[in-house]
């Protein structure tokens, strides 16, 4: 057997996958060839070294980065073609007959002159200029708002904190983003329940819309459609935590005064009503099951309405950002 | 430090039974958000380490592994379950890595600085206690890095096969399926890769005795 053939068979011999006659020839060559024998020994050592290799832990932030990219890919929408992103080299290499090109340019010039110097100008201007809405709503019909709230809040006693980001509640994506952060050294498992639209009580049971982990010192992001209320549950150090987030379908950019209708519902139902009426996000914890009855009130601001509701149940209310309010235990 | 080395199997690396894996995949196909979160949680360590094995550095491995999970998410409906899921996901990682290589057309350069300078007599082989001692851990890390650098010096196709076989315990059948190669080709390539590694590690093996 030649050296090259012997070396081709190193793996087969190592794995005991050779027929006896071939094995005998292989071993005879090794016994006679010090070079191949030395190579085979190095071969074995190299394999032993590979078997002892250690695994790495995944980098910090890996999990949340994957989930954010997945979320992004889920929401991919066709992008409009921009003039600066066109492949201009390709555009200019398109072969167009010179005469057709000249005719096209002439026609375009003629149309432009007609539009510019005749009454057509004002008509077309009205047709193509978007009329800007002046209402207060921030939603699919109001693309003009840019200052949108992002609020971070810590939950008392838990090392998890939650950020509600309403910056994506716009004409393009009517979505709130809930971001979870943990300072704990252990991964925290959390559940997000989408409360039924017709739920009258905070205890309405349903299955989790999302369950996941917040890894140590990492973020998790959950996107929620506008007009949804979610319940967030998690456990940490043997203690259970629960928060509700009421996200209106139309987020208001100003704290406008409105006439409060008659309210006769659980605290949960009342908060939902106020959230939708004023277009404000309400983050609530504590006992929301008590009933609250309020007569129709005169025009008042959202914080006043929320204060009236919260104090019935011994809860306190505070504004934490533009159009975001927090209701929690304690006066 | 950004990375820690560990051989311990954590919850996130726990191998699921076939039935558990199928159930999790079905939940992903049904669009349950939390299910994909759990899938990433379960497989991220294996996927990242496999990406590290073939990409050769942590930054590229991070990008490749993330992109692989996005592709898994986007094509999970097409996974029929005939193949092992791990085989499928490793194929995706391999494809992502090779696609990136095609795009960049930059050949990886192994910096000499990456090699750890092993001082003579700095390593001993006194294996008495089963649990790793601090010096032993450092030695293992150095040894792993030396082998890692040697694997990085291999051509792509050899590095991928070596990573699958030795670092991720894939069988010849699974590697052949992942890479769409005949088993005989996988075996001969692995043998060549091992021979090349033995040569690259020549100096280091002398150091390790």
Let me know if residue B4 belongs to a domain. Answer: no
Residues 19-78 of B with CB under 8 A from A: 33-34, 36-38, 40-41, 44-45, 48-49, 52, 58, 62, 65-67, 69-70, 73-74
Residues 178-217 of A with CB under 8 A from B: 191, 208-213
Q: Are residues B61 and B128 in the same domain?
A: no
Q: Number of C-alpha atoms within 13 angstroms, CB side, residue A173? A: 15
Let me know if residue A251 belongs to a domain. Answer: yes
Q: Are residues A20 and A164 in the same domain?
A: no
DSSP reduced 3-state for A184:
coil
Q: Is A46 on the interface with B (CB under 8 A)?
A: yes
Let me know if residue A30 belongs to a domain. Answer: yes
Question: Residue B184 is part of which domain span?
Answer: 111-209
Q: What's the domain count of chain A?
A: 2
Q: What's the domain count of chain B?
A: 2
Q: Are residues B117 and B101 in the same domain?
A: no
Let me know if residue A252 belongs to a domain. Answer: yes
Which range (B89-98, B127-136, B150-159) has the least confidence? B127-136
Let me know if residue B3 belongs to a domain. Answer: no
Q: Number of C-alpha atoms within 13 angstroms, CB side, residue A186? A: 9
Residue (of B36, B84, B195) closest to A68 by Cα position = B36
What pLDDT, on a 0 to 100 scale, did the predictor assign at position A82? 52
Residue (of A163, A132, A128, A133) closest to A149 by Cα position = A163
Let me know if residue B2 belongs to a domain. Answer: no
Let me know if residue B1 belongs to a domain. Answer: no
Kindly determine whether residue B74 and residue A69, on different chains, have CB atoms separated by under 8 Å: no
What pLDDT, on a 0 to 100 scale, did the predictor assign at position B68? 93
Asked if B206 and B199 count as a contact pair (C-beta separation under 8 A), the reply is: no
Taking the C-alpha atoms of residue A246 and residue A194, their distance in angstroms, rounded to an integer, is 10
A67 chain-B contacts, CB cut-off 8 A: 36-37, 40
Model confidence at A291: pLDDT above 80: yes
A42 chain-B contacts, CB cut-off 8 A: 198-199, 201-202, 205
What pLDDT, on a 0 to 100 scale, did the predictor assign at position A195? 84
Which range (A163-167, B106-110, B153-157) has the least confidence? B106-110
Q: Are residues A160 and A269 in the same domain?
A: yes
A209-229: b or e for each residue (b if 16 or more CB lie within 10 Å)?
A: bbbbbbbeebbbbbbbebbbb
Let me know if residue A105 belongs to a domain. Answer: no
Q: Are residues B40 and B97 in the same domain?
A: yes
Q: How far lies A57's CA from each of A121, A145, B62, in Å?
A: 65, 43, 11
Let me know if residue A91 belongs to a domain. Answer: no
Q: Are residues A37 and A154 in the same domain?
A: no
> If you average pLDDT over residues B96-122, what whole number do you get?
48
Q: Are residues A155 and A291 in the same domain?
A: yes
Let me know if residue B138 belongs to a domain. Answer: yes
Q: Are residues B73 and B150 in the same domain?
A: no
Q: Are residues B116 and B207 in the same domain?
A: yes
Asked if A326 and A318 count as a contact pair (C-beta separation under 8 A), the reply is: yes
DSSP reduced 3-state for A328:
strand
Q: Are residues B116 and B101 in the same domain?
A: no
Q: Is B116 exposed, middle or buried (0-12, 13-18, 19+ CB in 10 A)?
A: middle
Q: Is A249 left (phi over 0), alpha (psi -120 to 50) or beta?
A: alpha
Q: Mark which of B79, B106, B133 sits at the end of a domain.
A: B106
CATH code, B85? 1.10.1740.10
Q: How far lies B102's CA from each of A87, B164, B193, in Å?
A: 21, 21, 22
Q: Are residues B156 and B65 in the same domain?
A: no
Q: Mark which of B84, B106, B128 sits at the end of a domain.
A: B106
Kindly determine whether residue A69 and residue B5, on different chains, have CB atoms separated by under 8 Å: no
Asked if A260 and A277 count as a contact pair (C-beta separation under 8 A), the reply is: yes
Asked if A308 and A315 count as a contact pair (C-beta separation under 8 A), the reply is: no
Q: Are residues B117 and B188 in the same domain?
A: yes
pLDDT band at B110 (very low <50, low <70, confident <90, very high): very low
Let me know if residue A265 belongs to a domain. Answer: yes
Q: Are residues B208 and B116 in the same domain?
A: yes
Q: Are residues B197 and B117 in the same domain?
A: yes
End-to-end CA distance of chain B: 30
Mutate to test the interface with A, among B43, B75, B198, B206 (most CBs of A within 10 A): B198
Q: What is the CB neighbour count within 10 angstroms for residue B70? A: 18
pLDDT band at B44 (very low <50, low <70, confident <90, very high): very high
Which range (A147-161, A253-267, A285-299, B158-172) has the least confidence? A147-161
Which residue has tokens 């005949």? Answer: B182
CATH code, B132? 1.10.10.10
Classify residue A229 by its DSSP letter.
E
End-to-end CA distance of chain A: 91
DSSP reduced 3-state for A241:
strand
Taking the C-alpha atoms of residue B59 and residue B68, their distance in angstroms, rounded to an integer, is 14
The radius of gyration of chain B from alpha carbons, rounded to an integer in Å, stands at 19
Let me know if residue A32 belongs to a domain. Answer: yes
Let me know if residue A109 belongs to a domain. Answer: no
Q: Are residues A156 and A44 in the same domain?
A: no
Q: Are residues B67 and B23 in the same domain?
A: yes
Q: Mark which of B45, B73, B106 sits at the end of a domain.
A: B106
Structure tokens at B137: 């851990």
How far B114 CA lies from chain A's nearest CA (Å)? 17
Model confidence at B103: pLDDT above 90: no
A211 chain-B contacts, CB cut-off 8 A: 34, 37-38
Residues 111-140 of B with CB under 8 A from A: 140
- A1-17 tens-digit pLDDT: 888 888 889 898 888 88
Taking the C-alpha atoms of residue B109 and residue B134, their distance in angstroms, rounded to an integer, is 32
Q: Are residues B92 and B116 in the same domain?
A: no
Question: Residue A300 is part of which domain span?
Answer: 150-329
């Amino acid at each position: 057997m030649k050296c090259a053939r012997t070396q081709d068979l190193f793996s087969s011999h190592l794995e005991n996958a050779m027929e006896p006659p071939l094995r005998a020839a292989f071993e005879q060559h090794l016994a006679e060839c010090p070079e191949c024998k030395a190579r085979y020994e190095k071969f074995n050592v190299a394999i032993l070294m590979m078997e002892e290799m250690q695994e790495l832990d995944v980098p910090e932030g890996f999990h949340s980065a994957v989930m954010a990219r997945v979320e992004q890919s889920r929401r991919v929408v066709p992008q409009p073609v921009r003039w600066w992103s066109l492949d201009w080299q390709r555009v200019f290499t398109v072969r167009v007959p010179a005469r057709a090109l000249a005719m096209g340019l002439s026609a375009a010039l003629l149309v432009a002159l007609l539009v510019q110097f005749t009454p057509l100008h004002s008509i077309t201007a009205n047709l193509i200029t978007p009329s800007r809405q002046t209402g207060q709503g921030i939603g699919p019909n109001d693309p003009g708002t840019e200052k949108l709230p992002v609020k971070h809040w810590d939950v008392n006693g838990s090392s998890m904190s939650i950020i509600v980001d309403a910056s994506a509640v716009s004409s393009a994506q009517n979505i709130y983003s809930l971001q979870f952060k943990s300072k704990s050294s252990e991964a925290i498992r959390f559940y997000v329940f989408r409360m039924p639209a017709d739920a009258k009580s905070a205890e309405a049971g349903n299955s989790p819309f999302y369950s996941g982990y917040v890894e140590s010192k990492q973020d998790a992001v959950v996107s929620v459609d506008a007009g949804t209320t979610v319940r967030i549950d998690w456990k940490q150090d043997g203690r259970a935590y629960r928060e509700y987030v009421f996200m209106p379908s139309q987020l208001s950019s100003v704290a406008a005064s409105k006439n409060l209708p008659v309210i006769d519902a659980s605290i949960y139902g009342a908060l939902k009503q106020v959230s939708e009426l004023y277009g404000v996000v309400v983050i609530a914890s504590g006992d929301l099951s008590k009933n609250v009855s309020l007569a129709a009130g005169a025009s008042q601001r959202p914080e006043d309405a929320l204060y009236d509701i919260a104090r019935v149940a011994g809860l306190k209310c505070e504004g934490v950002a533009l159009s975001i309010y927090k209701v929690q235990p304690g006066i | 430090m950004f990375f820690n080395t560990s051989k311990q199997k954590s919850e996130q690396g726990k191998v699921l039974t076939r039935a558990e894996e199928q159930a999790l995949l079905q939940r992903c196909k049904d669009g349950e958000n939390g299910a994909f979160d759990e899938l990433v949680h379960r497989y991220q360590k294996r996927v990242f380490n496999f990406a590290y094995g073939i990409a050769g550095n942590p930054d590229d491995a991070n990008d490749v592994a993330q992109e692989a999970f996005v592709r898994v998410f986007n094509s999970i409906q097409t996974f029929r379950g005939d193949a092992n899921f791990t085989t499928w996901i490793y194929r995706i990682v391999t494809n992502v890595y090779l696609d990136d290589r095609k795009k960049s057309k930059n050949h990886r350069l192994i910096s000499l600085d990456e090699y750890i300078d092993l001082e003579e007599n700095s390593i001993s082989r006194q294996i008495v206690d089963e649990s790793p001692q601090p010096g032993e851990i450092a030695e293992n890390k150095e040894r792993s890095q030396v082998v890692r650098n040697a694997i990085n010096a291999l051509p792509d196709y050899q590095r991928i096969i070596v990573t699958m076989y030795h670092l991720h315990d894939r069988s010849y059948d699974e590697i052949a399926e992942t890479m769409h190669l005949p088993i005989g080709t996988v075996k001969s390539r692995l043998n060549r890769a091992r021979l090349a590694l033995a040569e690259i590690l020549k100096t280091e093996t002398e150091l390790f005795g």
